[in-house]
Amino acid sequence: MTALAVHIFGSINLDIITSLEHLPRPGETVMAMATARLPGGKGANQAVAAARMGAETYMVGAVGEGDSGSWMLSRLKADGIDVGGVAMLPGVDTGTAYIAVDSVGENQVIVVPGANARLRDARPVSEGVLLAQLEVPVSALLPVFAKSKAVRILNGAPAVQEGRALFEHVDILIVNQHEMAAFLGLESAPDNDDMAVIAETARGLLRREDQTVIVTLGAAGALAVRTGWQLHVPALPVIPVDTIGAGDCFCGALAALLDEGVSLEEALPYATVAAALCTLGQGAAPAMPMREAVEDLIGRPATEHALPIKNRSAASLS
Ligand code: ADP
């Protein structure tokens, strides 16, 4: 088994989380019971998930030159992530998400994109896996997706409509049900229990015969579809502490396994177990599980299924 690398193009945010009795109404001031500063951003979260799954992980993104940016880079480096592709930009703030959580777990999030909006000049990836999300400009991602020879995975989150321009250039598109509905212009997502309807709806996002769309379904697991094929993988039953970052964990873990040459069918159960484990810890990046915890639960190492490197390409996904 020889892995190449997972190249993550995405957002790097500082998450400022406040715990409140109730969320403020317009014009209201409320006192927080506790506050925490945690690493976040979909790109950074997915990078941590991939690295903890054992992938050699390269992060491409942008932070501001100040303390927040340095702190985020130190957090990523602590997980062994190569941050050589992260620009430190003068005169710009690091992306910041202000998250308020009330006593019943309801939340409000305000994201200030900061340096993430300045990501430019990203280079195509020739091998391994490319993984991106939509918290950085689509204009920066488009040339990378159009020219990369790596397995190209797009997590269509958040459901930024311009992101549809990337769909023809992806090998695997990962969305949750709400994102799927938003990209298709539907008012609501189909019911979780009707896999045939979800599969048919998801096929509306396919642009080529050799593409795969994966819809994550929360506690109902994940459904992968291609033309004439589908696979539903149930979730590991857990009682979540919080589901923040579960989708990011799924994407990062899946990317790491595909990079090793594990087939999509074999990788999906590992990614769903990793994502379920992520719901058992607080926050996003800090809750990403280590590979051993995932393999222990499944009962065998994922590498038993790996393809030799010469047989690996986007085509071998099917
Ligand atoms: P997002 O976090 O993007 O909204 P989902 O809620 O669909 O995405 O979660 C992503 C993945 O995390 C799911 O496919 C599933 O494998 C896992 N997951 C999420 N919530 C739960 C849960 N309550 N129990 C078990 N697994 C979960």
Decide if 248 is inside a domain.
Answer: yes
Q: Is residue 222 lining ligand 1, measured as CB closer than 6 Å?
A: yes
Give the domain range for residue 68: 6-21+33-316
> Which atom in ligand 1 lies closest to the alpha carbon of residue 244?
2
> Which atom in ligand 1 lies closest to the alpha carbon of residue 272?
16
Partners of 172 in the β-ladder? 153, 212
Q: 180: number of CA atoms within 13 Å, CB side?
A: 29
- Report the range of poorest mean pLDDT among 85-89, 175-179, 259-263, 296-300: 296-300
Bond into 269 cis (ω within 30): no
Query: pLDDT tier at 44 (50, 70, 90 boundaries)?
Result: very high
pTM, full prediction: 0.94
pLDDT for res 193: 80
Decide if 67 is inside a domain.
Answer: yes
**Number of separate domains in the chain:** 1
Distances (CA, A) of 27 to 99, 101, 103: 18, 18, 20
Decide if 223 is inside a domain.
Answer: yes
- Report the range of poorest mean pLDDT among 42-46, 66-70, 147-151, 282-286: 282-286
First to last CA, the chain: 19
- Tell me the best of 154, 238, 250, 298 to mutate to test the pocket of ligand 1, counting ligand atoms within 8 Å of each CB and taking the most: 250
Decide if 161 is inside a domain.
Answer: yes
Query: pLDDT tier at 310 (50, 70, 90 boundaries)?
Result: low
Partners of 100 in the β-ladder? 18, 108
Q: Is residue 233 lining ligand 1, measured as CB closer than 6 Å?
A: no
Indicate the DSSP class of residue 275.
H
Decide if 27 is inside a domain.
Answer: no
Residue-wise pLDDT for 205-236, tens only, equals: 999 999 999 999 999 999 999 999 999 999 99
Decide if 188 is inside a domain.
Answer: yes
Query: pLDDT tier at 308 (50, 70, 90 boundaries)?
Result: low
Q: Is residue 230 lining ligand 1, measured as CB closer than 6 Å?
A: no
Catalytic one of 15, 171, 248, 259: 248
> Which atom in ligand 1 lies closest to the alpha carbon of residue 217?
7
Decide if 28 is inside a domain.
Answer: no
CATH number at residue 14: 3.40.1190.20
Does the annotation count 248 as an active-site position? yes
CA of 251 to the centre of ligand 1 (A): 11
CA of 26 to the centre of ligand 1 (A): 31
Indicate the DSSP class of residue 101.
E
Q: Is residue 241 lining ligand 1, measured as CB closer than 6 Å?
A: no
Neighbour tally for 79: CB within 10 Å: 17
Q: Is residue 221 lining ligand 1, measured as CB closer than 6 Å?
A: yes
- Tell me: pLDDT of 1 over 60: no
CA of 126 to the centre of ligand 1 (A): 31
Decide if 26 is inside a domain.
Answer: no
